[in-house]
């Protein structure tokens, strides 16, 4: 769709830079400054204008993108709408509530689209934060603190006049306001507000609007938020555009409500009573570009459904700013018109094709790209995993690898039922009966016992821990609470000289696992520690297809044949013990690839798994590792790096112990 840019300043160049990757094309540029208009028009090979009416008369473009300075937004949008053009406007929509409402009314009357920046609620970090809210991690949200520290515009902007004219309220505050409205719907009232004229005496150029605003806002269906917008507080102060939300069950910190890119620690979550943990993206995250929102608006227009959704939100945000000014001048509370603004729909869970191997059978289960290993075993010792599993849940792990043998299902259950835990549907729970429970009644009892300890009705997947059966020595409930000798007596049934086995074939054990499934105790079934031929036995003799196969996998032991056999059949592979092969993390090649990719050696191994569509399930008791391991699976290694890691394969690799 052809469009006309009105305003040819810095922001116009940002919009124009990404046009080539969209279905939009630039037909003309209009700016009061002829040199600026001509420069941008020449760069994009289109017409230049200095008069908007003339531009609208000369060009039959359906869409005007209003990129003028703050104070001109209202008038330019009005002219364009009146000329029957759809409009996308930079923020703010206008500088007073009445003008903003009139623009919206004109767009409605004429059946035109009206979009308004910022589109940053769709930024990758903002969406991740929205996901935590949608998942109920905060419970009811009672309070918020939002900052918009625009900073000394006279220091950092080469043309600060437009900013000085409108003040931080109509500039910076619009970012947190837009985001909060997109999450919670409209602001009902401004409870109190204050406006200061604080500014360095030495500065010649001063804001003509208050340089610092404080306001307390009540959202109709959300929190009470204290908003600070400032030109005086430097934009390099500790708080920049940070937002804190506090709920009954947990807190959320978003470091920049206006960010267009993401970083590991942009979003942090703190379950009540616990510190904040970074929640990194688990998928390759693309940054937001300025033209994305214009392209979306254009798509609606092309489909005959001109949207005014962000226009309504923009009008409401202006109404909030207007009410803040009134409350600062006359005292609050001041009611705010909703202008038809509504909260955005809850973002869809981000599932991208890239989390699965290209060659994978389409029926394969969709899994999170990383799981968290919950085993208590660590170098021959038992360690308490409560704290690290809690950190993993806070950091966003959505797949827990549990097992009867690990003995801590009751502790995981306690974490999953505590306030602030992810919803049941938000976690993939994998369980494994121990090899002493392969007979039917024992396996059913094991499944029921584990489920009751976990506090859930069914496993998402229940997988045979090992293909070979051992003698039963008794039930294994709450194993972690038993003396170590008793744990070992029950789980490693010693015979006269070696472990005592049981005569339950793999085919029979699989049948028993199917019985667990048939009774509704497991949504899917799987295998662990199997060879290709054992997998084939199950596939040939079993009634149910395994959904998951969990095996030791790392660069020394890449299990290519097994992975191919699984992926061909739509079976997902989980890599257990991905990091602990002796010497692996000291491999110079992992260090070198990591340097190229911005990853640690451990991160390279995890990204190497994710790139092949394999889900690694590392364990860690170091919070920094828990977080960086999630962030690593959002990375994809290029083919050359994959080859270098593949070359570490060691056919003679034997795990100790």
Ligand X SMILES: NC(=O)c1ccc[n+]([C@@H]2O[C@H](COP(=O)([O-])OP(=O)(O)OC[C@H]3O[C@@H](n4cnc5c(N)ncnc54)[C@H](OP(=O)(O)O)[C@@H]3O)[C@@H](O)[C@H]2O)c1
- Where on the chain is the footprint of ligand X (CB under 6 A)? 373-375, 401, 465, 528-529, 550, 576-580, 585, 600, 602, 617-622, 625, 628-629
Q: How, if at all, do strands 277-278 and 267-271 pair?
A: antiparallel
Residue 310 or 528 with smaller CB distance to ligand X: 528
Percentage helix, strand, coil for the chain under 3-state DSSP, each rounded to 5: 40, 20, 40
516's torsion region: left (phi>0), alpha (psi -120 to 50) or beta?
Answer: alpha
Coil, helix or strand at residue 534: helix
Do the Cβ atoms of 268 and 279 come closer than 8 Å? yes
Q: Which residue of this chain has its Cβ atom nearest to ligand X in the complex? A: 373
Residue 289 or 629 with smaller CB distance to ligand X: 629
**Minimum CB distance to ligand X, residue 409 (Å):** 12
Q: Is the peptide bond before 92 cis (omega within 30 degrees of 0)?
A: yes
Residue 387 or 481 with smaller CB distance to ligand X: 387
Q: How, if at all, do strands 334-335 and 572-576 pair?
A: unpaired
Residue 150 or 476 with smaller CB distance to ligand X: 476
Distance CA 87, CA 68 (A): 13
**Minimum CB distance to ligand X, residue 603 (Å):** 6
From 563, 581, 580, select the one nearest 572 (Cα to Cα).
563
Q: Please work out, in degrees rounded to the nearest 5, the angle formed at the alpha carbon of residue 397 by the alpha carbons of 126 and 595.
A: 80
**Minimum CB distance to ligand X, residue 467 (Å):** 11
Residue 300 or 623 with smaller CB distance to ligand X: 623
Q: How, if at all, do strands 334-335 and 187-196 pair?
A: antiparallel
**Minimum CB distance to ligand X, residue 381 (Å):** 11
Facing residues of 89 across strands? 66, 116
Residue 387 or 494 with smaller CB distance to ligand X: 387
**Minimum CB distance to ligand X, residue 377 (Å):** 7
Side-chain-side CA neighbours of 39 within 13 Å: the count stands at 12
Do the Cβ atoms of 2 and 63 come closer than 8 Å? yes
> Choosing from 88, 406, 462, 556, which is the catalytic residue?
406
Query: What is the secondary structure of 173-198 as a DSSP string?
Result: THHHHHHHHHHH--EEEEEEEEEE--
Residue 214 or 591 with smaller CB distance to ligand X: 591
Residue 306 or 558 with smaller CB distance to ligand X: 558
Strands (E), 12-75: 25-30, 47-49, 63-66
Active site residue 406: yes
Residue 216 or 388 with smaller CB distance to ligand X: 388
**Minimum CB distance to ligand X, residue 591 (Å):** 12
Burial class (CB in 10 A: 0-12, 13-18, 19+), 498: exposed
From 79, 66, 48, select the one nearest 12 (Cα to Cα).
66
Distance CA 364, CA 356 (A): 9
Residue 114 or 549 with smaller CB distance to ligand X: 549
> 73-82 and 97-110 helices cross at what angle (nearest 10)?
20
Side-chain-side CA neighbours of 535 within 13 Å: the count stands at 26
Burial class (CB in 10 A: 0-12, 13-18, 19+), 586: exposed
What is the rounded end-to-end Cα distance, in angstroms, of the chain? 65
Distance CA 568, CA 191 (A): 61
Burial class (CB in 10 A: 0-12, 13-18, 19+), 562: buried
**Minimum CB distance to ligand X, residue 250 (Å):** 24
**Minimum CB distance to ligand X, residue 391 (Å):** 11
**Minimum CB distance to ligand X, residue 18 (Å):** 35
Do the Cβ atoms of 309 and 293 come closer than 8 Å? no
Alpha helical stretches, state H, 542-633? 560-568, 588-597, 601-611, 623-632
**Minimum CB distance to ligand X, residue 430 (Å):** 9
Residues serving a catalytic function are: 406
């Amino acid at each position: 769709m052809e469009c006309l840019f009105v305003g040819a300043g810095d922001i116009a160049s940002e919009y124009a830079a990404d046009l080539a990757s969209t279905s939009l094309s630039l037909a003309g540029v209009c700016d009061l400054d002829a040199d600026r208009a001509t420069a941008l028009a020449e760069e994009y090979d289109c017409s230049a204008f200095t008069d908007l009416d003339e531009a609208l008369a000369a060009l039959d473009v359906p869409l005007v993108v209003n990129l003028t300075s703050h104070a001109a937004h209202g008038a330019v949008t009005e002219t364009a709408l009146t000329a029957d053009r759809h409009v996308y406007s930079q923020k703010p929509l206008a500088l007073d509530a009445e003008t903003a409402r009139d623009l919206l009314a004109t767009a409605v009357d004429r059946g035109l689209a009206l979009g308004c920046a910022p589109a940053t609620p769709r930024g990758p970090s903002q969406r991740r934060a929205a996901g935590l809210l949608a998942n109920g991690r905060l419970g009811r949200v009672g309070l918020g603190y939002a900052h918009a520290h625009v900073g000394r515009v006279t220091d950092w902007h080469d043309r600060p006049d437009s900013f000085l004219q409108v003040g931080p309220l109509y500039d910076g505050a619009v970012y947190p306001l837009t985001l909060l409205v997109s999450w919670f719907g409209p602001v009902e009232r401004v409870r109190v507000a204050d406006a200061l004229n604080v500014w360095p005496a030495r500065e010649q150029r001063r804001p003509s609007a208050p340089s610092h605003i404080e306001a307390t806002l009540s959202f109709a269906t959300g929190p009470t938020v204290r908003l600070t917008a400032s030109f005086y507080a430097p934009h390099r102060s500790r708080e920049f555009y940070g937002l804190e939300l506090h709920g009954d069950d947990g807190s959320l910190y978003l470091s920049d409500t206006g960010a267009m890119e993401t970083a590991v620690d942009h979003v942090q979550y703190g379950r009540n009573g616990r510190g904040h943990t970074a929640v990194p993206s688990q998928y390759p995250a693309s940054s937001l570009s300025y033209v994305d929102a214009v392209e979306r608006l254009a798509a609606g227009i092309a489909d005959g459904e001109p949207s005014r959704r962000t226009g309504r939100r923009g009008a409401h945000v202006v109404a909030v700013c207007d009410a803040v000014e009134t409350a600062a001048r006359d005292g609050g509370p001041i009611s705010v018109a909703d202008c038809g603004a509504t909260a955005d729909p809850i973002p869809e869970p981000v599932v991208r094709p890239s989390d699965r191997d290209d060659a994978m059978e389409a029926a394969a289960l969709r899994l999170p790209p990383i799981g968290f290993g919950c085993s208590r075993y660590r170098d021959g010792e038992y360690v308490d995993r409560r704290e690290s599993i809690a950190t993993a849940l806070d950091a966003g792990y959505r797949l827990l690898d549990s097992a009867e043998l690990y003995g801590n299902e009751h502790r995981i259950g306690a974490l999953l039922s505590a306030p602030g835990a992810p919803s049941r549907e938000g976690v993939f729970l994998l369980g494994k009966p121990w090899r002493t429970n392969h007979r039917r009644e024992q396996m059913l009892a094991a499944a029921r016992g584990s489920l009751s300890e976990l506090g859930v009705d069914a496993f998402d997947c229940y997988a045979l821990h090992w293909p070979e059966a051992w003698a039963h020595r008794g039930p294994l409930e709450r194993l972690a609470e038993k003396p170590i000798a008793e744990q070992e007596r029950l789980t490693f049934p010693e015979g006269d000289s070696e472990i005592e086995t049981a005569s339950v074939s793999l085919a029979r054990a699989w049948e028993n696992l199917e019985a667990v499934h048939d009774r509704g105790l497991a949504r899917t079934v799987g295998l662990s520690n199997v060879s290709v031929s054992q997998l084939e036995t199950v596939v040939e003799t079993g009634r149910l297809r395994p959904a998951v196969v969990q095996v030791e996998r790392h660069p020394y032991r890449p299990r290519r044949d097994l992975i191919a056999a699984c992926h061909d059949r739509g079976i997902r592979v989980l890599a257990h013990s991905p990091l602990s092969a002796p010497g692996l993390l000291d491999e110079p090649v992992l260090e070198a690839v990591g340097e190229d990719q911005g990853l640690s050696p451990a991160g390279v191994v995890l990204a190497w798994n994710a790139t092949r569509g394999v889900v690694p399930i590392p364990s860690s008791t170091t919070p920094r590792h828990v977080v960086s391991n999630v962030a690593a699976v959002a990375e994809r290694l290029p083919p050359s790096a994959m080859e270098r890691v593949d070359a570490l394969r060691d056919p003679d690799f034997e795990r100790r112990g």
